[in-house]
């Protein structure tokens, strides 16, 4: 009887030891799983929004007259600012297509470039509230279509976009970025080989009191937003303000009577600047 009890006790001891061993192994496995999870989270952490930057564009920058700025700190792409180049001549200007708002509408109305080179709305105004859905008057046939549809038909090599002043006071940064980037992305989708240049804002003259409520601080913010658009989309940035503005205000000699729209001299200065800051 004593022998039987001893056997039972030995069996119980063995079973208890086995249970303890299994618990120990389970704890070790759990600790290893936690450690692996922490390592995975560390090395695959999301540091911000996805960057819609085209790496092929970066590889072309070394000899293209472009300065590469630092990102915005929010995981955006680099800023491709067009630097000064040799005068690319009238042939370069003739190769460009322009998508513009009222600030640059003299390009069309004064016929300072070819008739088919300017895309704008019938009225010439293109508010940032609806810029991503606006229809332009397509110069090829006079129809009213979206800029993306025009790009799909024309497949322009270089599209210069001069928008941002119309309706600037009615949008915040988020709306400005979403609408502008939606416009650019739709054009890129319709015409993948088109290279896009976004112009800085030409601003308003000192003492401007237009009903649109534009002012120096607002235009300065708008210029910053245009640069963010370029970083997000990979478009090139043309800083026209350095020759057309002083203290973020449009020089009076370049402005029409309304104090905002570029006059003939202003457009000619803009084209001359584009010729010497060419995308090569």
- Give the burial string for 80-105 (b: 16+ CB within 10 Å, else e): bbbeebeebeeebbeebbbbbbbbbb
Q: For 19-51, what is each residue's pLDDT tens digit?
A: 555 556 656 555 555 454 544 444 443 333 333
More confident residue, 61 or 125: 125
Q: Can you give the pLDDT at residue 63?
A: 37
Mean pLDDT of 252-274: 97
For residue 68, the model assigns a pLDDT of 46
Could you tell me the pLDDT band of residue 273, with boundaries at 50, 70 and 90? very high
Q: Give the pLDDT band (50/70/90) at residue 280.
A: confident
Pairing of strands 66-69, 79-82: antiparallel
pTM (2 decimals)? 0.75
Query: pLDDT (tens digit, 9 = 90+) per residue, 228-255?
Result: 999 999 999 999 999 999 988 999 999 9
- C-alpha to C-alpha distances, 180 to 51, 81, 161, nearest whole angstrom: 16, 18, 10
- State the chain's mean pLDDT as an integer: 83
Q: Please tell me the predicted confidence (pLDDT) of residue 146.
A: 98
pLDDT score recorded for residue 19: 54
Q: In the prediction, which pLDDT does 28 show?
A: 53
């Amino acid at each position: 009887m004593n022998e039987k009890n001893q056997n039972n006790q030995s069996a119980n001891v063995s079973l208890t030891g086995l249970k303890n061993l299994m618990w120990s192994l389970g704890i070790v496995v759990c600790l290893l799983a936690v450690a692996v999870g922490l390592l995975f989270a560390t090395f695959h952490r999301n540091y911000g929004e996805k960057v819609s930057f085209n790496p092929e564009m970066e590889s072309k920058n070394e000899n293209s007259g472009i300065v590469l700025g630092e990102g915005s700190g929010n995981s955006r792409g680099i800023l491709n600012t067009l630097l000064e180049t040799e005068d690319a001549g009238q042939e370069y200007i003739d190769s460009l297509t322009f998508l513009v708002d009222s600030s640059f509408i003299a390009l069309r109305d004064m016929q300072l470039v070819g008739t088919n080179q300017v895309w704008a709305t019938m009225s010439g105004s293109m508010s940032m509230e609806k810029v991503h859905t606006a229809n332009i008057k397509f110069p090829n046939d006079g129809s009213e279509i979206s800029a993306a549809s025009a790009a799909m038909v024309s497949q322009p090599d270089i599209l210069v976009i001069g928008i941002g002043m119309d309706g600037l006071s009615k949008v915040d940064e988020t709306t400005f970025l979403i609408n502008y980037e939606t416009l650019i992305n739709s054009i890129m989708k319709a015409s993948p080989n088109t290279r896009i240049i976004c112009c800085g804002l030409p601003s308003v003259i000192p003492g401007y009191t237009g009903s649109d409520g534009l002012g120096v601080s607002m235009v300065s913010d708008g210029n910053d937003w245009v640069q963010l658009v370029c970083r997000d989309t990979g478009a090139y940035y043309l800083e026209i303000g350095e020759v057309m503005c002083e203290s973020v205000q449009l020089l009076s000699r370049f402005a029409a009577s309304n104090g905002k729209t570029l006059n003939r001299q202003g457009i000619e200065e803009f084209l001359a600047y584009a010729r010497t800051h060419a995308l090569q």
